[in-house]
């Protein structure tokens, strides 16, 4: 791994992204995202995705004009008009935070292009402002229903963040047995997929991660993951007017963000006290392996981020770093 | 199995429940619930739970006075004051439906006693009125965190219903690998628990379903189910002031119901059309077993209910039926 100063990483990214003609503030937003993804160890959604983002930004005649529409005091939709997923989701977060709604708010996003990144990055921002945040995405199809062969549904991820000290509790999971990113990592490392994660085009369980490309991924926890994936596709797909199914309803991916202040029912302080007690009980509960204490979801990322920030640097994959240097420092 | 007329089942149940001193309308509500649970094949939450409900109703000095408080135009909490879970959840549903909120509504319920029943029965009622409905429950602890031994978390179920024709799509899942009801069925049938569903008090994987009583159940899909269970406990536990953890925050179970009209972003008709197309694609997709078409969640229950209603009768477990007859027809 190559040790890279966070400031240099941020600087190079901002310059590179601004060089695509992107608005400077947006270039900074994206750079902040990528730096945080690396610093917090979310590398499957970090620099590895940069090339794809640059491809999307360098498409000809690109001039997205996202529009935000308020449907009711607490409901918005954003038609991203081809804006990058990463920026469109940030727009949704900013809309939610700007609303400072005393109750729930719901924001739907459609028409974005490219990756949305690690959803936990976005839900955490809302949680740091004292709101519970749930985010679901109906995305490109690749997952078969339980008992089925055809990849009708997306990996349809779900992220939830809950305010806590010093960091929010955050889950960020696909409803498939493996996320597509994990499957790609296995494929490129020449490793087998775990059993019951992939089927081939005839529906036979396969250990070949590439088989998912012509066959399908399987849902997590069989019918439970299938049910969740279908619900996400109904909500973030059909309610928003985004894609639903592989062929049934064409459209872009759909994303729905739901926020609610944690003091919806009772004071923020007492909720925080009770949450801290619950999290302490979880952390202090007996681990199966004495060397590996029970973790709270999101803790690993938060710890990695703190360590990186304290050091002022992060360990980056050498090939990805070299590619970034070449792009920003051509000789 | 014993064939029982739905009308006789309903009549006997209403009489028996009213005989406990329960308000007649509440006795009818409960009878309707139990008849539907049997008719729709949700037998783990049907007559099998009647004895427990009767025990709760026959407790001395029982006179619950539930109170409903409106926190904001779309947020309510219900303190059930020991009212039966089944009636308290129905109260939450009626509050949501009565509100006819043009946007989301959120209802928290605490202080109920005994089972909430099959959550899908309640979320479906909301979906039949054109609203998406999500229900989560933070319930009695019995599930270990991923990588842990101690049963810190509840089986914390999640039900979601989405309006569709002729019946809503409904999922109703525990976030544990097995629901507690399923585990009990295995235990009493002398069957093994599937691998990776139960650990003993030392954290060793066990095939003995009874081991969960001194050990713990495992979450579904390892860290994913653990993450969902913890989030449900933070939301329906700490936000509402209900139990959180095994010892950290004592209290009753907590239930949260969230509703949103499906036309939050665009017309109900177009949402219904897109949902129907998605569901048709799912149903018409290739099954792994040609004899078993891919099903939409909730379809099996809906079909069983239609069949029972058409026949005017339902097949009931003979022992449970005999117990009901003895209680209502003593000689």
Render pLDDT for A69-118 as a digit per residue (tens, 0 to 9): 999 989 999 999 999 999 999 999 999 999 866 788 999 999 999 899 99
- Which residues in chain A have their CB less than 8 angstroms from residue B72's CB? 102-103, 264
B41: contact with A, CB 8 A cutoff: no
A104: contact with B, CB 8 A cutoff: yes
Phi/psi for A31 (5° steps) reads: -60, -45
**Residue given tokens 């409905």 in the structure block:** B133
Residue contact B278–A233, C-beta within 8 A: yes
Total-model pTM: 0.97
Phi/psi for A220 (5° steps) reads: -70, 145
**Residue given tokens 């009801």 in the structure block:** B181
- Which residues in chain B have their CB less than 8 angstroms from residue A77's CB? 265
User: Between A and B, how many residue pairs show a Cβ–Cβ distance under 8 A?
Assistant: 241
Length of chain B: 331
Residue contact A288–B203, C-beta within 8 A: yes
Distance CA B251, CA B231 (A): 17
Residue contact A230–B282, C-beta within 8 A: yes
- Residues 49-78 in A contacting B (C-alpha not used; CB under 8 Å): 71-75, 77
Q: Which residues pair with A131 in a beta bridge?
A: A261
Report which of A321, A327, A255, A322 is spatially closest to residue A58, judged by C-alpha positions.
A327
Residue contact B238–A278, C-beta within 8 A: yes
C-alpha dihedral (B34, B40, B43, B46), degrees to nearest 10: -10
**% of chain A exceeding 70 in pLDDT:** 99
- Residues 11-40 in A contacting B (C-alpha not used; CB under 8 Å): none
A294: contact with B, CB 8 A cutoff: yes
Residue contact B233–A278, C-beta within 8 A: yes
Distances (CA, A) of B286 to A150, A202, B237: 6, 9, 41
Which of B77, B103, B135, B223 best probes binding to A when mutated, by most A CB atoms within 10 angstroms? B103
Q: Enumerate residues 6+ apart whose C-beta is below 8 A from A303.
A: none
Distance CA A6, CA B93 (A): 51
Give the ipTM.
0.97
Work out the pLDDT band at B100, boundaries 50, 70, 90.
Answer: low
A269: contact with B, CB 8 A cutoff: no
Interval B208-233 mean pLDDT = 97
Which DSSP symbol is given to A114? S
Q: What is the pLDDT of residue A101?
A: 65
Residue contact A225–B226, C-beta within 8 A: no
Pairing between β-strand B141-143 and β-strand B153-154 as defined by DSSP bridges: antiparallel
Along the 331 residues of chain A, how does pLDDT read in single tens digits?
999 999 999 999 999 999 999 999 999 999 999 999 999 999 999 999 999 999 999 888 888 999 999 999 899 999 999 999 999 999 999 999 998 667 889 999 999 998 999 999 999 999 999 999 999 999 999 999 999 999 999 999 999 999 999 999 999 999 999 988 889 889 989 999 999 999 999 999 999 999 999 999 999 999 999 999 999 999 999 999 999 999 999 999 999 999 999 999 999 999 999 999 999 999 999 999 999 999 999 999 999 999 999 999 999 999 999 999 999 986 6
């Amino acid at each position: 791994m190559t040790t890279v100063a966070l400031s240099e990483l941020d600087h190079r990214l901002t310059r590179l992204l601004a060089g695509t003609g992107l608005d400077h503030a947006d270039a900074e937003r994206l750079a902040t995202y990528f730096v945080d993804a690396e610093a917090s160890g979310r590398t499957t959604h970090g620099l590895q995705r940069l090339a794809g983002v640059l491809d999307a930004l360098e498409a000809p005649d690109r001039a997205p004009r996202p529009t935000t529409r308020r449907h009711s005091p607490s409901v918005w939709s954003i038609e991203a008009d081809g804006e990058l997923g990463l920026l469109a989701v940030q727009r949704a977060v900013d809309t939610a935070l700007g609303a400072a709604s005393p109750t729930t708010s719901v924001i739907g996003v459609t028409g974005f292009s490219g990756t949305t990144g690690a959803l936990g990055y976005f839900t955490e921002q809302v949680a740091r402002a004292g709101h519970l945040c749930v985010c679901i995405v109906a995305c490109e199809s690749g997952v078969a229903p339980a008992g089925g062969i055809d990849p009708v549904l997306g990996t349809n991820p779900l992220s939830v963040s809950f305010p806590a000290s010093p960091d929010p509790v955050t889950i960020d999971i696909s409803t498939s047995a493996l996320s597509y990113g994990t499957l790609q990592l296995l494929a490129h490392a020449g490793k087998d997929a775990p059993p019951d994660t992939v089927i081939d085009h005839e529906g036979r369980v396969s250990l070949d991660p590439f088989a998912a490309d012509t066959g399908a991924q399987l849902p997590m926890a069989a019918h439970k993951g299938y049910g969740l994936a279908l619900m996400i596709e109904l909500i973030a797909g059909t309610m928003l007017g985004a894609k639903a199914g592989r062929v049934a309803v064409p459209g872009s991916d759909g994303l729905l963000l739901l926020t609610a202040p944690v003091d919806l029912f009772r004071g923020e302080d007492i909720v925080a006290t009770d949450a801290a007690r619950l999290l302490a009980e979880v952390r202090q509960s007996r681990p199966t392996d004495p060397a590996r204490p029970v973790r709270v979801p999101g803790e690993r990322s938060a710890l990695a981020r703190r360590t990186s920030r304290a050091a002022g640097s992060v360990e980056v994959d050498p090939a990805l770093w070299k590619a970034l240097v070449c792009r920003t420092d051509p000789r």
